[in-house]
Copies of this chain bind each other. A is one copy, B any other.
Amino acid sequence: MRIGELSKRTGVAVPTIKYYLREGMLQPGERTSPNQARYDETHIHRLRLVRALIDVGGLPVATVKEVLTSVDSPSDNIEKLLGTVQHALFPAPPPSQEAAMQEAAEQQVRAMIDELGWYCRDGHPAVSALATVLVSAQALGHGEFLDTVRRYVAIAEQIGVVDLDYIADRRFVDGMVESVVVGTVLGDTALIALRRLAQVSESAKRFPDRRRPEGQTEVSG
């Protein structure tokens, strides 16, 4: 198909498709003349992947570019693959103003990971991201948010099991790379959406009349 039909079938504007082509995010079509190229189903699939990462995953274009580099370098080493995709998807947060607090929080996170018996190599961006969360909470007077994070741990373990099941199930379909990318990005959005719905639902359960009666300040469990 021509670029016009590719645009129509994917809903991506022609200038945007040309931009993706220039940036190497979309593989070139088959040249049919100096000014024309032919595209096929693989281009449709790739455009859908790019749009899913941007629109559904909310990723900036630069991150999408980086993630696509891993998609284009197939590997059957799940751990290495996870590492590459996770690094692209989880850029280190800006260095904390309070270097000493940040370092102490990273030690705390690493101690927590060791205690759990989790495997984690040094320098994983999620460790510093989690440490930054703890430093911020502390600076805002929400130091006890650490207890919430500790309670999240057991929950995250269950997520990890579900996610690896998905990757393992998909490994023969189109290689694991795309499953890791799709599962990670769409999974983040799905989990955050479900978290919101669960909060509303739990709130409605605790406050069945859907609002605290006037003057009542005690929350009934």
| A contact set with B: CB distance below 8 Å | 10-11, 45, 48-49, 51-52, 55-56, 76-80, 82-83, 86, 90, 93-94, 97, 113, 116, 118-121, 124-127, 129-130, 132-133, 136-137, 139-142, 144-145, 148-149, 151-153, 155-166, 168-174, 178-179, 182-184, 186-207, 210-212, 217, 219
Contacts and interface: CB of A to CB of B under 8 A. Distances in A.
A190 B131 CA distance: 9
What 9 A-B pairs have minimum CB-CB distances, sorted nearest first?
A160-B198, A11-B97, A156-B194, A119-B204, A160-B202, A118-B201, A126-B193, A52-B136, A126-B196
Contacts of A118: 197-198, 200-201
A200 B83 contact: yes
Contacts of A132: 55-56, 189
Contacts of A121: 200
A138 B123 CA distance: 35
A93 B186 CA distance: 13
Contacts of A186: 133, 136-137, 142, 145
Contact of A136 (B48, B184, B204): B48
B79 A207 contact: yes
A203 B76 contact: no
A79 B204 contact: yes
Which residue, of A49, A80, A144, A182, has the highest number of chain B Cβ atoms within 10 A? A182
A82 B127 CA distance: 28
A190 B152 contact: yes
Contact of A195 (B77, B163, B202, B217): B163
B152 A155 contact: no
A125 B195 CA distance: 12
